[in-house]
Chain A
Amino acid sequence: DGGITQSPKYLFRKEGQNVTLSCEQNLNHDAMYWYRQDPGQGLRLIYYSQIVNDFQKGDIAEGYSVSREKKESFPLTVTSAQKNPTAFYLCASSFDSREAFFGQGTRLTVV
Chain B
Amino acid sequence: AQRVTQPEKLLSVFKGAPVELKCNYSYSGSPELFWYVQYSRQRLQLLLRHISRESIKGFTADLNKGETSFHLKKPFAQEEDSAMYYCALSPANSGGSNYKLTFGKGTLLTVNP
Q: Which of B9, B101, B103, B105 sits near A94, CB closer than 8 Å? A: B101
Interchain nearest-CB distance for B112 vs A (Å)? 22
Known: A50-B96, A97-B93. A35 touches B103 (CB 8 A): yes
Verify if B69 is at the interface (C-beta below 8 Å from A): no
Most chain A beta-carbon contacts within 10 A, residue among B9, B46, B98, B103: B103
Query: What range describes how many residues of A lie at the interface?
Result: 20 to 34
Known: A42-B86, A96-B93, A97-B90. A102 touches B45 (CB 8 A): yes
Complex contact B103–A42 (CB within 8 A): yes
Interchain nearest-CB distance for A47 vs B (Å)? 11
A50: chain B residues within 8 A (beta carbon): 96, 98-99
Give 1 or 0 for each of A69-96: 1 = CB within 8 Å of chain B CB: 0000000000000000000001010101
Give 1 or 0 for each of A89-111: 1 = CB within 8 Å of chain B CB: 01010101111101110000000
Verify if A64 is at the interface (C-beta below 8 Å from B): no
Complex contact A97–B104 (CB within 8 A): no
Give 1 or 0 for each of B36-58: 1 = CB within 8 Å of chain A CB: 10000001111001000000000
Interchain nearest-CB distance for B1 vs A (Å)? 9
How far, in whole Å, are A24 and B90 apart by their CA atoms in the complex? 22
Q: Which of B84-113 contact A (CB under 8 A)?
A: 86, 88, 90-91, 93, 96, 98-106
Interchain nearest-CB distance for A17 vs B (Å)? 28
Q: Which of A1-56 contact B (CB under 8 A)?
A: 30-31, 33, 35, 40-45, 48, 50, 56
Q: Which 9 A-B pairs have the closest CB atoms?
A: A42-B105, A43-B103, A31-B99, A102-B44, A97-B99, A99-B46, A42-B106, A97-B90, A50-B99
Instruction: List 12 interface pairs A-B (beta carbons < 8 Å), by A numbering.
Output: A30-B96, A30-B99, A41-B105, A42-B6, A42-B103, A45-B102, A48-B99, A50-B99, A56-B100, A92-B44, A97-B98, A98-B49
